[in-house]
Amino acid sequence: MPCIHQFGIIPQLDPDYDYQRYEPEKYDMVVVDDDLLESWYPEAASLPTYFHQLTRPDFGLARYGITLIPPESCEKLAFLLFDLPEFESEPCLQELFQLLQTAKKLDKFVLHYGV
């Protein structure tokens, strides 16, 4: 099984919920191969995020865990993806870009499941 990352918009964020359960069926997930994440993971390390729940602020993506990406960071991550050389040739990066743009526009958090 390949190592993948999954991203989905959280329709209604529950500030008290611990999102550490793996529940991809609850969200329309975009799947990105871990090899593709490797090229932009270091740049994403400065983005304000949360690990598992809103009581755990952090930065970047939890590579092997669950990340909550706030709308402000969604926009920054989207532009980071857009500048990648492989952006045009990788449909999953384009899908993730659209998902992040939608989340920002709707003022929603994005849930990230690491490998």
**For residue 60, what is the domain's CATH number?**
3.40.1760
Rounded to two decimals, the pTM is 0.93
What was the pLDDT predicted at 1? Answer: 52
What was the pLDDT predicted at 41? Answer: 86
Q: Which uninterrupted H or E stretch holds 77?
A: helix 71-82
Residue 83: inside a domain, yes or no? yes
Tell me how many domains the chain contains. Answer: 1
Q: Which residues of the chain have pLDDT under 70?
A: 1
Residue 26: inside a domain, yes or no? no
Residue 52: inside a domain, yes or no? yes
**Which residues span the domain enclosing 82?**
4-13+32-113
Residue 47: inside a domain, yes or no? yes
Residue 48: inside a domain, yes or no? yes
Residue 22: inside a domain, yes or no? no
Query: Which amino acid is it at 61?
Result: L
